Structure 1
Amino acid sequence: MKYFAISAALALGLAACQPADQAAPAAIDAPVPTVTRYDAATFFMTTSFGMADSAGFAFAASDGRILISSDETGVYNAYAVDPVSGEREALTDSTTSATAAISWFPNDDRVLVTFDGGGDELNHVYVRELDGRLNDLTPGENVKAQFIGFSPDGNDIWIATNARDAGAFDVYQYDTLSYESSVLFENTDALSISAVSPDGRWLALVRNRTSADSDILLVDRAADNAEPVLITAHEGNIAYSAYTFTADSSALIYATDEFGEFSQAWSYDLATGERAPVVTADWDVQFVTYSPSGRFLVTGINADARTEVTITDLQAGQALALPDLPAGDLGSVRFSRDEGSIAFMINAATSPSNLHIVDLATQAHTQLTNALNPAITEAEMVDAEVVRFASFDGVEIPGIMYRPHGASADNPVPALVMVHGGPGGQSRIGYSAMIQHLVNHGYAVYAANNRGSSGYGKTFFHMDDRRHGEEDLNDIVAAGDYLRSLDWVRDDQVGVIGGSYGGFMTVAALAFHPDAFEVGIDIFGVTNWERTLASIPPWWESFREALYDEMGDPATDAERHRAISPLFHADTITKPLMVIQGANDPRVLQVESDEMVAAVRANGVPVEYVLFPDEGHGFRGRDNRITASEAYLSFLDTYLRGEGEAAE
C-alpha cells in the first residue's frame, strides 16, 4: 500500500533556489566525454499522455475518437484523438488545475473529467457538456469524488463521494440527463470502495485491517438487507483486494497472497461461492480487466520493475496476436466498443508513453502520438538496467541503474541514490524527464528498492513494518556504499534524493548517518512523523488502521515517531540540503518543511528551500517541474560535483 507515494512524473522536480553561505568544494579535472548537454526543458517538453479510466468508455460513441489526458500545453487537459490521423482536439483548456479525462458518455459525446484545487487532492467529477461548459456533479468545499462506472443501460453514472462523511465514501448514482443523484450505497463502516459489477447489482468493498491483512466484503443490492457480507474469512495475515468483476457480472476477480509470496488473481463465483485461480505467476499480478463483452482478458504482471501484459482471447483460448510493436512496456489497454480495435500506451526508459492503436482484424498498427521532444533522440537517452547488491546484512536489494554515457574508470562520475515514495512504493523502469536530465549532465542515478518496497514478495514488503527509518534506511546507506564500490563512480561524490517517503529517507540519512552522503535533496518529504500521522487527510479513513499498524499509532507510538523524525535531530545534519514543498500539500504540511529548513540553517549548513504556491503533494505543472530540475542540477553542480559557484 502506497500511503505517501508520489510518482516520479509528479514528485521529482523543483524551483528557484534560496541563497546559501558555504563555499563550494573544489572542481575536478577529470575529462568530460563528448555528450551534448540539454536543459531541463528539453526533457520535459516531451508530452505526457494518459488514457481514460478503465471503468469508462475510451472510444467515443459517435466517431470512435479516443479520450486521453495530455500536458502538451504545460498543464494536463482532456483531448479527443482521431484514431486514423492522430489529430487531437482539446476538450478542456485549464491553465492551472491538472485535468484528467475519465470517460465518454455511453450514448453521446459528453465527457467526464476530474480535477482538484491546485493539488489539495479534493477531486470533483465534472461533465464536459457538448458546448464545452464544465458542470460540477459533486460540488462542495471539502468533497472528494471518484468515478466508478456507468449503469448497464447508460442512464446513470456511479460516483463515490465523501459528501456525507469526510472519512467515508458513499456510492451515488447520477441521472445522465438531469444529473439528479440518489444514494446507491451508504458506506457507514468507511470501507474502501473497490468495484461495482457491470450490472450494478454487486459492490466489492475492502476492509484494510493492517498492511498485511485485509478482507473483501460483498454487497448484493438485490438482497433485502443489502448489507456487506464477508467472503474472505481467514486466520493469520492474508491480504485480499478486488481487481474487477467479470463482464457478465457472474464472478468477482480478486487478489490474494494466500498461496505464496506474490499476489495471484482468483475468481469468486457470485452464485455458488466457488473459487478458482485465474492468473498466477512468480511476480505480483498487477491488474486484471475484461473487454466490454468479456471475450478478451487483459492481465499485467509486475515482473522485476517492468509490466508484462497478456491479452487472451477467451473465445479462441489463446493469447491475442499483435503486430511488432516498439520496445517498452505496454499498458492502459482499452477496447473499442465493437472490440474491433485496441488502444494502448507504450512506455520505455528512453521514450515517454505514446498512444497506439491496432485493428484486430487486419493487424494494422498506428502510433498516434509522438511524445518525445524532437530536439533530442532516444539514442541520446540512457536506458535503465535492473541491478542488485547485497545490503549491510546480506539482504539482496534490487534497483534501477541509469549510467551516463561515457562513464568509466577513466572518467568516473558523481552519483545519486534515489528513494521512492511510500512506504511500500517501487521504483520501476520508465521514462523520467528528471532522471534523464540529471544523467545527461553526468550524474549516475540508482533508484533503490529498499526492503519494504512492493513488487518483490510479501516477506520483503513487510521487512520494515514498524521499523521505518531503521533497516530500510540502512539499505539506502548501503546503496551509497555500493555506488562507491563501482570504478566508474566518484567515491567522494555520492548524494541522496527522494520524494515523499523518499524525502523522509533523504533527510533521515543526513541526520542519522551524517557521513554517508555528500548532499541530500528532499522533495515533499516527511520530517515530523508526529505531525504527519496526526494530520492525515480524512479521506484516508478506510486505511487509517492499516497505516497506523505499519507506521505506528501517534497516540501510542509518539516516542518512536520522534526518534525517527529528522526534525528532532536536525543538529546532526552537516551536509548541504535542498528542500522542496508544495503550499497546498494535504499530506506533508508546509509548516513541516518550514521548521526543518530553519533547524538545519541554525547549524550553519547550506539549505536551499523552494516553496511552490500552486502545488500539492507532487508536481502537476510542467513549468514547475522544469524549474525544479534546473534547481536540482544547480545545487548538485555546486555542492556535489563542485563546478558551480557557491551562493553568496
Structure 2
Amino acid sequence: MNTKLIMSICVSMLLLSCSRHDASKPENIKVASANVFQSYSAEAFFQTTSYGLANAKGYAWSSDNKKLLIQSDKSGVFNAYTIDKKGTQTLLTESDSNAYFVNSFFPQDNKIIVSADQGGNELNHIFVRELDGTLIDVTPGEKLKAFFGGWNKDNSAFYVWHNGRSSANFDLYSIDISNYQASLLFENAGFQPGPISKSGKWLALDKPRTSADSDIYLVDLSSEQKKPVLITEHQGNIAYSTYDFTPDEKHVVFSTNEHGEFNQAWTYNISTGKKSPLIADDWDVSFVFYSPSGRYRIHGINADGLTDITIFDQDTEKNLDLKGIPEGELGQIRFSRDESKLAFGLNTDTSPYNLYIASISNENDSIKLTNALNPEINENNLVTATVERFKASDGTVIPGILYKPKQASAANPTPALVFVHGGPGGQSTRGYSALIQHLVNNGYGVYAANNRGSSGYGKTFFHMDDKRHGQEDLRDIVEAGHYLRGLDWVDNKKVGVMGGSYGGYITAAAMTFYPEEFEVGINIFGVTNWVRTLSSIPDWWEAFREA
C-alpha cells in the first residue's frame, strides 16, 4: 500500500480520536491577533515532492558539469531525472510501479546507473540505463540484493556488492563497463561492507558485536589471500566504524568513542598501525569524506539534533562559506567533476528537502533548484521547532524537539502529542516532517522526545536502556507527557502518544502499562513481539545478528 496513504489514514484517525473530547476542532482556533489561522489537509501535506542526488560514491554531475543526476517522486513513484542550473528536469526512467533510485553518471557519457527492487520486495538490483533508454540488469538473480559501491581507479569498471552467493553476506564485485561482466573481488564472511580506497587496493570492513562494541578490519585486495586483518584490537566495550580512506591512501579514517562520551574521528596509519586524532567535538562526528580530488574534507557534527557541516579546503586551510542558505539540515554534498561547483540538499523545519548548487569561489549565492513543498501550502503557516529538555524523575535530563502550534496560547490551549522515534537507538532531529507539520498546523502540539537509549547524546545515555526496552525508556515517554501537561499552552486533559516501529512499540506499551497517562495512542506499524521480530530479520542483516 502507498506509504503516504497509510500515514494520512493514521493522522486522520489521530485527529478524530483527539477531537472526540470537544466539538470545537483545533484548526478553527483563532490566533491571538484575531486572524483566522490557515490550516491544510493531510492530503496537502503528503503531496510533498521528494528529491535526492546521486550516490556519493558515483558521479552526480554529468561529464560536462552542466547537469545533475537526481531522483524524484513527482510522478508518484521515484524515477531518475537530470536537472540543470535553471531547475529544468528531464525524465530518464518512466516507471509507474517500481521505484528507481540514482547512483551515478558514467564517467565519459550520459549513461547512468540506477537501482530498483521488484514490487517492493526490497531485493534491489543494479541497472545500467543505456543512451537509448534501455535498462540492463547487471546483477540478475531471483533472490539477490545488491547496492552500488563506486568506480575503480581508471573508470573501466564500477563496484557492486550483492548476496547472490550467500543470502547472508554481501560479496564485492567489479562490473566491466564494456560488457557488464562481473568479477568477484572479495568473498565476504560476515562483515559489514565499508569504503574502498581510490586505487582499489584497500577495503575496510566493519564488524558489529553488540550495540556497544564493534571492530574494523582491513583487506589488501591486491594480495592473493585477501584476508581481513583486525586493526582495532581492544579490551572492553568500544564502538568503532569506518568513515573513509584519506586521498593518499595512507590512512583509514574511522569513528571511535574510546576517548569520551561522543564519537570522534581518528586515523589509522596503514604502514605503522599508529592511531591519531583528527576531529573531536562536544557532539558525535557523524561522517567524514573527501572531494574527488582530495582537496576538500567534509565532516558533519550531530549538534543537538541538527547536523553542522564543515567543508575544509586542505590547500588554503580554510572552511568554505556557503552563502544564501537558510538554517537547516544540509546533506548530500556532491562536487562537480572540476570541483568548481557543488550540489547539496537542504531540509529545514518548514520546508522539505530541496536541491541547491553553489560556486566554490563564493562569488554568488547558492541557487535553489527545486520546490518540494506543495504550492498549496504557505510556508509561513508552518512552525519552526525548538530543542527543549525536561528532568526525569530519577534526575536524567531528556532532550526533545518541540513544535508549538501558532494557534496555541495560555488563552487557547491545544491538545498535544508525545512523538516517539524508531530504533531502538534512533533520534528525533530538527527538519521537515509532513506528518508532524500537519498535526501542528491543525492545532496539535508535538514533542518528539529523545528518551534514554536514543543516539546523539553520548554513549552513556545511548546504552541506558540496553536489554530494558519498555522500562526506563517507557517511563521517559510517560514523563514527557507530564512535561507537556505542564506547559500553559497545552490542554492538560488532551495529551496523547504516537510513534512507528520501536515508537509504535512504546506507544502500545504506554497504553497497556500506563493506561491512565494518555488520552489517545497511535501505534504505527509498531513492534509488539520482540522475539518474533529478532527471529525474522532478513538474512542480509547477518552482520548485525549477533549485536
Q: Which bracket does the TM-score occupy, shorter chain normalised?
A: over 0.9
Q: Which amino acid is 1:355 matched to?
A: L
Describe how 1:226-625 pairs up with structure 2 within 5 A. Answer: 226-361=226-361, 363-364=363-364, 365-546=366-547
Q: Pick from 39, 43, 50 the counterpart of residue 48 of structure 1.
A: 50
Contact conserved, 2:11 with 2:439, CA < 8 A, in 1? no
Describe how 1:204-223 pairs up with structure 2 within 5 A. Answer: 204-223=204-223
CA separation in 2, counterparts of 1:538 and 1:10? Answer: 29
Q: Which amino acid is 1:462 matched to?
A: H
Question: Displacement of 1:532 after TM fit?
Answer: 1.1
Question: Displacement of 1:190 after TM fit?
Answer: 1.2
**Paired residue for 1:570?**
none
SS across alignment from 1:496: strand
Q: Which amino acid is 2:526 matched to?
A: G
Q: TM-score, normalised by structure 1?
A: 0.80
Contact conserved, 1:202 with 1:219, CA < 8 A, in 2? yes
SS across alignment from 2:352: strand
CA separation in 2, counterparts of 1:16 and 1:424? Answer: 24
**In the alignment, is residue 32 of structure 1 matched against residue 53 of structure 2?**
no
**Paired residue for 2:193?**
193
Contact conserved, 1:114 with 1:126, CA < 8 A, in 2? yes
**In the alignment, is residue 176 of structure 1 matched against residue 177 of structure 2?**
yes
CA separation in 2, counterparts of 1:410 and 1:500? Answer: 36
Q: Which amino acid is 1:316 matched to?
A: T
Question: Displacement of 1:65 after TM fit?
Answer: 0.8
Q: Pick from 75, 78, 81 the counterpart of residue 76 of structure 1.
A: 78
**In the alignment, is residue 92 of structure 1 matched against residue 85 of structure 2?**
no
SS across alignment from 1:352: coil
Q: Which amino acid is 1:156 matched to?
A: A
Question: Displacement of 1:453 after TM fit?
Answer: 0.4
**Paired residue for 2:63?**
61
Contact conserved, 1:62 with 1:109, CA < 8 A, in 2? no
Change (3 A) 1:97 1:59: same
SS across alignment from 2:446: strand
Q: Deviations over 1:442-473 (max 9, x none)?
A: 11111111100000000000000000111111
CA separation in 2, counterparts of 1:15 and 1:472? Answer: 24
Contact conserved, 1:52 with 1:68, CA < 8 A, in 2? yes
CA separation in 1, counterparts of 2:98 and 2:124? Answer: 10
Change (3 A) 1:109 1:205: same
Q: Which amino acid is 1:465 matched to?
A: D
CA separation in 2, counterparts of 1:366 and 1:81? Answer: 13
Contact conserved, 2:18 with 2:520, CA < 8 A, in 1? no
CA separation in 2, counterparts of 1:243 and 1:259? Answer: 17
Question: Displacement of 1:267 after TM fit?
Answer: 1.2
Contact conserved, 2:65 with 2:336, CA < 8 A, in 1? no
Change (3 A) 1:507 1:229: same
Change (3 A) 1:358 1:10: farther
CA separation in 1, counterparts of 2:242 and 2:70? Answer: 25
Question: Displacement of 1:260 after TM fit?
Answer: 0.3
Q: Deviations over 1:332-362 (max 9, x none)?
A: 1110011111111121101112111112235
Contact conserved, 2:157 with 2:176, CA < 8 A, in 1? yes
CA separation in 2, counterparts of 1:61 and 1:522? Answer: 48
Q: Deviations over 1:584-612 (max 9, x none)?
A: xxxxxxxxxxxxxxxxxxxxxxxxxxxxx
Q: Deviations over 1:475-506 (max 9, x none)?
A: 11111111111111111111111011111111
Structure 1: stretches of 5+ with no match in the other structure: 1-7, 547-648
Contact conserved, 1:117 with 1:123, CA < 8 A, in 2? yes
Question: Displacement of 1:11 after TM fit?
Answer: 8.8
Structure 2: stretches of 5+ with no match in the other structure: 31-35
Contact conserved, 1:60 with 1:66, CA < 8 A, in 2? yes
Question: Displacement of 1:10 after TM fit?
Answer: 11
Question: Displacement of 1:140 after TM fit?
Answer: 1.8
**In the alignment, is residue 164 of structure 1 matched against residue 130 of structure 2?**
no
CA separation in 1, counterparts of 2:88 and 2:370? Answer: 9
Contact conserved, 1:392 with 1:474, CA < 8 A, in 2? no
Q: Which amino acid is 2:202 matched to?
A: W
Question: Displacement of 1:95 after TM fit?
Answer: 1.7
Contact conserved, 1:344 with 1:357, CA < 8 A, in 2? yes
**Paired residue for 1:102?**
103
Q: Which amino acid is 1:415 matched to?
A: A
CA separation in 1, counterparts of 2:5 and 2:336? Answer: 30
Q: Which amino acid is 1:47 matched to?
A: T
**Paired residue for 1:559?**
none
Q: TM-score, normalised by structure 2?
A: 0.94
Question: Displacement of 1:210 after TM fit?
Answer: 0.6
Change (3 A) 1:230 1:9: farther
CA separation in 2, counterparts of 1:17 and 1:494? Answer: 16
Question: Displacement of 1:233 after TM fit?
Answer: 0.3
Q: Which amino acid is 2:267 matched to?
A: S
Contact conserved, 1:207 with 1:542, CA < 8 A, in 2? yes
Change (3 A) 1:382 1:253: same
CA separation in 2, counterparts of 1:63 and 1:52? Answer: 14
Q: Deviations over 1:315-339 (max 9, x none)?
A: 1111123323223232111100111
Q: Deviations over 1:158-196 (max 9, x none)?
A: 111111111111101111121101110001x21101111
Q: What fraction of aligned residue pairs are identical, expressed as a percent?
A: 53
Q: Which has the higher contact order (CA 8 A, sep 6+)?
A: 1
Contact conserved, 1:412 with 1:490, CA < 8 A, in 2? yes
Question: Displacement of 1:228 after TM fit?
Answer: 0.2
Deviates more, 1:41-50 or 1:127-136: 41-50
**Paired residue for 2:33?**
none
